[in-house]
Structure 1
Amino acid sequence: MAGHKIPYPKHVWSPAGGWYAQPSNWKANTAVLGAVVFGIAAAAFKLSADNEVRTKFPEEGRFFPSRYWSKQIVEHEKEKKAGSA
């Protein structure tokens, strides 16, 4: 039994919206914030991948996720493939 909302002071301001806040545009705000977070994460990922330096390369045939985006590993594997062929 949920009951009715309890009375609360109307003069109180809160950055989170106060009691029972449900802004009408919360879905749009959430989508915009999600896009911003995704953009920042993608930029950080790209910067990290571009600056990644390897001193030891992954073993042949072993699963290694950065094998797909690290320029240094991709070039190393191309050179290795061209040298063995």
Structure 2
Amino acid sequence: MVFVYAVLQATRVFMASKGNKTETLEPLAASALLAAPVALLYAYALALQTYVLQLDVVLAAIGLVFVGLETLLSATTAVAFYNAFRG
């Protein structure tokens, strides 16, 4: 489970970085699509794991907040790129 999380998170961050640097929509959209499974893995770590330490709860909550903010910022950046290249 941790390996799947690590691969998804690294891919998501790489795609977001690539989309931001090249100002293209496709990597940003891929990053936004990968945010859902990453958020589900954070939710699993937060609520569905059998043994959860208080530190696990805090780190998973912080991770969920960051994934949400990054997705929101990726969406606003994608809209700005679309408007800049359209007009």
- TM-score, structure 1 normalization: 0.35
> Which structure is richer in relative contact order (CA contacts within 8 A, separation 6 or more)?
2
Higher helix share: 2
Q: Pick the structure with greater CA Rg.
A: 1
TM-score by length of 2: 0.34
